[in-house]
Amino acid sequence: MRKLILSALLFVAASTFLLAQDEEEEKGGWKSNHLFIGSGINLGFSNGFIIGLNPEVGYSISKILDAGIAFNFTYVTQRSQQSNYSLRYTAIGGGPFVRLWPARMFFVGAQFEYNSIGISEKLNNVVTKLESATAPSLLLGLGYGNRMIGQSQFYTSIMIDAMNDPDSPYRDQFGRVLPVFRTGFIFYLGRKNRDN
């Protein structure tokens, strides 16, 4: 009987100690299992087509907030329906992002990008203009996903460029907003945490 009581007391003491360790870890400080890397794939369409890759590095600041740095490599092609005119962009850029998860599976996202763009215009399959430009973009949108801090994340979002820069890779040659559909896969670094 003594061994049973002693074993039970040791179990309770060890459990209390381990729970206290988890509580201290959650209260503050750097948590390596909140650091993540991943990539998004974005698609858009209108009178043209957008495809891009968006690698990112970020940190889950809390149970509802992610922030980090994202990079983008985007290719855009647009064609005129009235003539044999086409426009092609290649954009490379990056900037900060934030995702707020007010509900378990839904988020509001914002991403600022500063893009370096190469532009090629063709008329009747002859290059008529080659130029380069820079353009800021502020992508705002909503998304749906599965987020398990310390394990993985998957999301799908729709975003639009809220800035009015005519050189933005997320606007057509007439300045109209092109919706950006993005799907991302994220993997957390560090040890696994099943509580979040």
The average pLDDT across 149-157 equals 91
- Which sign does the torsion angle of CA 167, 173, 174, 178 carry? negative
Q: Please check whether residues 7 and 44 belong to one and the same domain.
A: no
Q: Please check whether residues 83 and 9 belong to one and the same domain.
A: no
Q: Please check whether residues 57 and 109 belong to one and the same domain.
A: yes
Q: Please check whether residues 172 and 100 belong to one and the same domain.
A: yes
The CB density around residue 26, as the number of other CB atoms within 10 Å, is: 13
Q: Please check whether residues 22 and 96 belong to one and the same domain.
A: no
Instruction: Answer yes or no: is pLDDT of 195 > 90.
Output: no
Q: Please check whether residues 9 and 39 belong to one and the same domain.
A: no
Measured CA angle at 62 (ends 60, 63), to 5 deg: 100
DSSP state letter for 166: T
Q: Please check whether residues 100 and 110 belong to one and the same domain.
A: yes
d(CA 70, CA 182): 13
d(CA 42, CA 109): 14
Q: Please check whether residues 166 and 148 belong to one and the same domain.
A: yes
Confidence of residue 180 (pLDDT cuts 50, 70, 90): confident
Q: Which residue has the tokens 């209390």?
A: 16
37 domain-assigned: yes
With pLDDT > 90 as the criterion, what percentage of the chain qualifies?
A: 46
Kindly report the backbone phi and psi dihedral angles of residue 135, in degrees, each rounded to the nearest multiple of 5, phi listed first: -155, 135
* pLDDT tens digits, 3-37: 534 443 344 344 334 333 343 445 668 888 999 99
Bridge partners of residue 86, in order along the sequence: 79, 122
* pLDDT tens digits, 55-85: 999 999 999 999 999 999 989 888 877 788 8
Instruction: Answer yes or no: is pLDDT of 176 > 70.
Output: yes
Q: Is the CB of residue 54 less than 8 Å from the CB of residue 72? A: yes
Q: Please check whether residues 55 and 24 belong to one and the same domain.
A: no
Q: Please check whether residues 5 and 82 belong to one and the same domain.
A: no
196 domain-assigned: no
195 domain-assigned: no
pLDDT at residue number 27 = 60
More confident residue, 13 or 147: 147
Confidence of residue 2 (pLDDT cuts 50, 70, 90): very low
d(CA 40, CA 52): 8
Q: Please check whether residues 47 and 57 belong to one and the same domain.
A: yes
Domain range for 88 is 31-188
Structural domains counted in the chain: 2
Q: Please check whether residues 15 and 80 belong to one and the same domain.
A: no
Amino acid identity at 151 = Q
CA nearest neighbour of 86 among 129, 29, 42, 54 = 129
194 domain-assigned: no
pLDDT at residue number 26 = 55
d(CA 134, CA 166): 10
